[in-house]
Structure 1
Amino acid sequence: MAAGSSTVAEKNRELNVRTTSYEFFGPVGAAVLVPLLIVTTLGLFPLCTKESCSPLVLVTDPQSVLDNIAALKWWDWKAAGVYMLWISFHFVGYLVVPGRIIEGTMLRNNSRLKYKINGLTMAYLTAALLGGALYFYGLAPFVWIAENTLPLCTAATAYALAQATFLYLYSFRSNTPLMSLVGNSGNFIYDFWMGRELNPRLGFLDLKYLCELRPGLILWAILNLSYAAKQYHELGRVTNSMILVQIFEIYYVLDALINEEAILTTMDIIQDGFGFMLTYGDLVWVPFVYTLQARYLTLYPIDLSPAALGGILLVKIIGFYIFRSSNLQKNDFRAKPDAPHVKNLKFIQTASGTRLLVDGWWKWSRHMNYLGDWIMGIAWCLPCGFGHAIPYFYALYFALLLVHRSLRDEEKCQHKYGKYWDEYRQKVPYYIVPYIY
Structure 2
Amino acid sequence: MAYRTVPSLRFDERKMERPRVPRTEELEFGGPTGISLLTVGMPALGLYLLLTCNTKSASVLEGPGPAPSLQSLWNPIAMALVLGWVALQVGLHLLPIGEPHLGVTLSNNTRLRYKINAFLVFNLSAILAGFAVLGKVPFQYVADHYVEFASASALLSMVLGVFLYIKSLSAPDHALAARGNSGIPLYDFFFGRELNPRIGSFDLKYFFDLQLVNASWGMILLCLLVRDITAHGSSCHALVLVSGFQAFYILDSLWYQEMILTTMGFVHHGFGFALAFRDLCWVPFIHSLQVYYLVRHPYELKTSAAIGIIILNAVGYTIYRESNTMKHAFRLDPTDPHLARYRIQTIQSTSGRRLFLGGWWRVVRHPNYLGDIIMALAWSLPCGFNHLLPYFYFVYLTIFLAYRAAKDEQRCLRKYGQAWQEYCRRVPYKIFPCIY
Offset at residue 148 of structure 1 (A): 1.8
Give the direction of change, closer, same or farther, for the CA distance of 1:94–1:273 in structure 2 (3 Å limit).
same
2:42 equivalent in structure 1: 37
SS at match of 1:101: strand
SS at match of 2:170: coil
Work out whether residues 293 and 380 of structure 1, in 8 Å CA contact, stay in contact via their aligned partners in 2: yes
Work out whether residues 189 and 272 of structure 2, in 8 Å CA contact, stay in contact via their aligned partners in 1: yes
2:86 equivalent in structure 1: 87
Q: Which amino acid in the other structure matches residue 30 of structure 2?
A: F
1:212-231 equivalent positions in 2, closer than 5 A: 212-231=209-228
Offset at residue 70 of structure 1 (A): 5.3
1:419 equivalent in structure 2: 418
2:160 equivalent in structure 1: 163
SS at match of 1:365: coil
Offset at residue 311 of structure 1 (A): 1.2
CA distance in 1, matches of 2:362, 2:258: 27
1:286 equivalent in structure 2: 283
Offset at residue 386 of structure 1 (A): 0.8
Which of 13, 17, 32 is the aligned partner of 1:27? 32
Offset at residue 7 of structure 1 (A): 6.8
1:182 equivalent in structure 2: 179
Q: Which amino acid in the other structure matches residue 276 of structure 2?
A: T
1:142-291 equivalent positions in 2, closer than 5 A: 142-173=139-170, 178-291=175-288
CA distance in 2, matches of 1:343, 1:134: 45
SS at match of 1:65: coil
- The Cα offsets for residues 294-349 of structure 1, whole Å up to 9 and x where unpaired, read as 10111111221111111111111111122223334444555345447447433322
Give the direction of change, closer, same or farther, for the CA distance of 1:342–1:23 in structure 2 (3 Å limit).
farther
SS at match of 1:54: coil
2:65 equivalent in structure 1: 65
Structure 1 window deviating more from structure 2 (151-160 vs 92-101): it is 92-101
Query: Quick check: 1:314 aligned with 2:311?
Result: yes
Give the direction of change, closer, same or farther, for the CA distance of 1:54–1:363 in structure 2 (3 Å limit).
same
Offset at residue 245 of structure 1 (A): 1.0
1:433 equivalent in structure 2: 432
Q: Which amino acid in the other structure matches residue 15 of structure 1?
A: R
- The Cα offsets for residues 52-88 of structure 1, whole Å up to 9 and x where unpaired, read as 2121104xxxxx6117x35994111111001011111
Work out whether residues 343 and 359 of structure 2, in 8 Å CA contact, stay in contact via their aligned partners in 1: no
Aligned length: 424
- The Cα offsets for residues 142-193 of structure 1, whole Å up to 9 and x where unpaired, read as 1112112211111111111011001111111175561001111101111111
SS at match of 1:15: coil
Q: Which amino acid in the other structure matches residue 46 of structure 1?
A: L
SS at match of 2:115: strand
Offset at residue 16 of structure 1 (A): 2.5
Offset at residue 97 of structure 1 (A): 4.2
Work out whether residues 108 and 174 of structure 2, in 8 Å CA contact, stay in contact via their aligned partners in 1: no
- The Cα offsets for residues 215-249 of structure 1, whole Å up to 9 and x where unpaired, read as 22111111112111111111111111111011100
Query: Quick check: 1:123 aligned with 2:128?
Result: no
Q: Which amino acid in the other structure matches residue 22 of structure 1?
A: L
Structure 1 window deviating more from structure 2 (420-429 vs 87-96): it is 87-96
CA distance in 1, matches of 2:174, 2:204: 14
Work out whether residues 164 and 276 of structure 1, in 8 Å CA contact, stay in contact via their aligned partners in 2: yes
Offset at residue 272 of structure 1 (A): 0.6
Which of 2, 17, 20 is the aligned partner of 2:22? 17
SS at match of 2:351: coil
Root-mean-square deviation (CA), in Å? 2.2
SS at match of 1:93: helix
Work out whether residues 194 and 274 of structure 1, in 8 Å CA contact, stay in contact via their aligned partners in 2: yes
- The Cα offsets for residues 29-67 of structure 1, whole Å up to 9 and x where unpaired, read as 211111111101112122112412121104xxxxx6117
Q: Which amino acid in the other structure matches residue 254 of structure 2?
A: L
Give the direction of change, closer, same or farther, for the CA distance of 1:36–1:6 in structure 2 (3 Å limit).
farther
Give the direction of change, closer, same or farther, for the CA distance of 1:333–1:164 in structure 2 (3 Å limit).
closer
Structure 1 window deviating more from structure 2 (266-275 vs 345-354): it is 345-354
Work out whether residues 46 and 72 of structure 1, in 8 Å CA contact, stay in contact via their aligned partners in 2: no
Offset at residue 264 of structure 1 (A): 0.5
1:346 equivalent in structure 2: 345
Give the direction of change, closer, same or farther, for the CA distance of 1:318–1:134 in structure 2 (3 Å limit).
same
Q: Which amino acid in the other structure matches residue 378 of structure 2?
A: A
Work out whether residues 167 and 195 of structure 1, in 8 Å CA contact, stay in contact via their aligned partners in 2: yes
1:303 equivalent in structure 2: 300
5+ residue gaps, structure 2, are 1-10
Work out whether residues 358 and 427 of structure 1, in 8 Å CA contact, stay in contact via their aligned partners in 2: no
TM-score of the aligned structures, taking structure 2 as reference length: 0.92
CA distance in 1, matches of 2:127, 2:146: 22
Give the direction of change, closer, same or farther, for the CA distance of 1:136–1:374 in structure 2 (3 Å limit).
same
- The Cα offsets for residues 401-428 of structure 1, whole Å up to 9 and x where unpaired, read as 2111111210111001111111111111
Q: Which amino acid in the other structure matches residue 29 of structure 1?
A: G
